[in-house]
A and B are shown apart, each in its own frame.
Chain A
C-alpha cells in the first residue's frame, strides 16, 4: 500500500470544489492542498485571521508576522485578507466556510466527534476546533481507520465530545463513510481491503452502499 496519509489526502481533495473556502487542520489535512486538480482553486482560511493563505514559507524567507493556526510561518496569496480573531470566528460560525477537514481521536455513527482531550493524559485545549465543526458547512474527518488496531469509528464516542452531530464524511485509508440518520454508509472501499476487513476495523455496523465504488 502506498503512503497511507497520501491516499487519504488525495481522496479528500476530490471533495473540494473550485472556489470553496476551506479550513485545514494541522497534520494530515494540510496535505490535502497538494492534491487538488489543476482546475480547482480553493481559498484557504486560517482561524488566527487569514483568508487566502498560501503555502508554508521557504526557510530563510519567513515573515515573522505571518503564521498559521499551527504557529508555522506561511505565505499569503495575492488578494488575501487578514482579520482580528472575533471577525475570523464570525466568519467560521456564520457559515462562510464551505468545508473544514480535520483529524479525530474518535468519531461515532451519529456524527459525534471527539478530538480535543484525553482526560488525565492530554489536555491541550480545543483551540478553534469546536467553533469550526459547528460552523463549517461540511465537516470531513481525515484520519487513519484505527489507532494501531484500536477502533476509532465507534457506536458511541467514549472521550469528551468536540461537538455532537456535526460530521458529514469520514475518509480513511480503507474507505469513505457518509454519516446518515441510519448510521454510517460505506460508499467507497479501497481495493487493498475486503468488506470484512473494513467492518472488523470499525466498531459500529457499517451500512454498505448498494452503489459501493472503489476508492481512488
Chain B
C-alpha cells in the first residue's frame, strides 16, 4: 500500500492560492500547528478557511489571519481574535476578510452533511433571526425549520493525538471537536499527529476517524505549551 507519510512542507505543497480548507479544532485546541506553520511558510493566499473560530493571534488559524492569507472565513465565533474584527472592516482590500458566521451546531452539521452524502438538513436553530435570511423555511410537524446546505472543502487539516500509518486516528479529550466530521468532508485530507504508530497499534474500538479518509500523514505535531 502507498506510504501516506510526508513532511509538513511536502504535505501542504498540493495546496494552491484560492483553495478552501477545513481546519479542525476549537480555539486552536485540536488544530494541527505543524500543518498551519507549513501553510504560513508556503504563503498561499486568498484562502477560504472553514473552522469553528479564528483561533487566537499566534495560534491555530490565527497565524493564517495574521499573515493575510485568509480571504473568507466561515466560523461560528471570532471574538477571541481581535485581528479578525479589524480585518473585517479595514480599508485595504487585500487585507480584508469576509467573515461568514454560522451557528456552531449548524456548522458542524453542515460539514457532517457534506461528508455523509446528505443534500441538507432541517434545523430549528436560527429561525426568526438574521441567520434565516435567504434560506428556505419549512414547516414540518408543527414547527419551523431552516433548510441548511452541506459544506465541503478542497482540503481538511486535522490534528490526531495518535495516528497509525494507514491514517486511523484517535483524538484525545477535547481535541476531537470538528476534526472527526471534517475528515469526511474534504477532497484531500491531511493529518498532523502527535504520535505516529504502526498499523494494528490502535485498538479498532478506539479508532475515531477511519484511515480510508486520510490521504497524508505528518508526524511531529507537539503538545501545546502554556
Contact = CB atoms under 8 A, between A and B. Distances in A.
Given A67-B29, A88-B105, 16 more contacts: A48-B26, A49-B174, A63-B173, A67-B27, A71-B27, A84-B178, A85-B26, A85-B52, A85-B178, A89-B105, A125-B53, A125-B77, A129-B103, A131-B106, A164-B127, A165-B128
23 contacts: A62-B226, A65-B173, A69-B26, A71-B56, A82-B176, A84-B108, A85-B178, A85-B181, A88-B105, A89-B105, A92-B105, A93-B124, A124-B85, A125-B75, A125-B76, A125-B77, A126-B76, A128-B76, A128-B103, A131-B125, A162-B129, A163-B126, A164-B128
Interface string B125-153: 11111110000000000000000000000
A131 B30 CA distance: 22
Given A84-B208, A125-B78, A130 B125 contact: yes
A123 B88 contact: yes
Contacts of B208: 84
Interface residues of A, number: 42
Contacts of A193: none
Nearest to B175: A65
A188 interface: no
A66 interface: yes
B176 A49 contact: yes
Contact of A161 (B88, B105, B129): B129
A47 B109 contact: no
B172 interface: yes
Interface residues of B, number: 51
Contacts of B179: 84
Interface in A32-47: 46-47
Contacts of A89: 104-105, 108-109
A86 interface: yes
A95 to B, nearest CB: 11
A67 B56 CA distance: 14
A89 B178 CA distance: 11
Given A93-B105, A134-B125, A160 B130 contact: yes
B123 A86 contact: no
A190 B130 CA distance: 36
B80 A85 contact: no
B196 interface: no
A66 B104 contact: no
Nearest to A84: B180
A50 interface: yes
Interface in B66-114: 75-80, 85, 88, 99, 101, 103-109, 111-112
Contacts of A67: 26-27, 29, 174
Given A93-B124, A93-B125, A65 B76 contact: no
Nearest to B177: A85
A65 B123 contact: no
Contact of B129 (A66, A88, A163): A163
A71 B31 CA distance: 13
